[in-house]
Amino acid sequence: RLITAGHCVRDSGSPNSWSQNGFAVGGGYRYTYGSGGDYGIITVDDSTFWASRGWVYVRQSAAVNGSPGTTENPQYPINGESQYSSTASTYLCHTGQTIGTRCGPKSGSNVTAGYPDATVSGLARFDAPVCRGDSGGPVYVQNAAYGVVSGGQTNATTPDCFTTTLFQGIGAIKSAYNLTLLHN
Burial of 24 (0-12, 13-18, 19+ CB in 10 A): middle
**Phi-psi map region of 65: left, alpha, beta (phi>0 left; psi -120 to 50 alpha):** left
Q: Which domain holds residue 104?
A: 55-169
Residue 166 has a pLDDT of 98
Q: What is the CATH number of the domain that holds 62?
A: 2.40.10.10
> What is the pTM assigned to this prediction?
0.90
Residue 175 lies in a domain: no
Over residues 1-17, the pLDDT tens digits come to 889 999 988 876 544 56
Report the domain count for the chain.
2
Please identify every stretch of the chain with a pLDDT value under 50, giving residue numbers as ranges.
14-15
**Type of residue at 74:** P
17 lies in the same domain as 61:
no
C-beta atoms surrounding 164 within 10 Å: 21
79 lies in the same domain as 133:
yes
Any alpha helices (H) in the chain, and if so which ranges? 6-11, 170-177
Q: What is the Cα–Cα distance from 17 to 27, expressed in whole angstroms?
A: 4
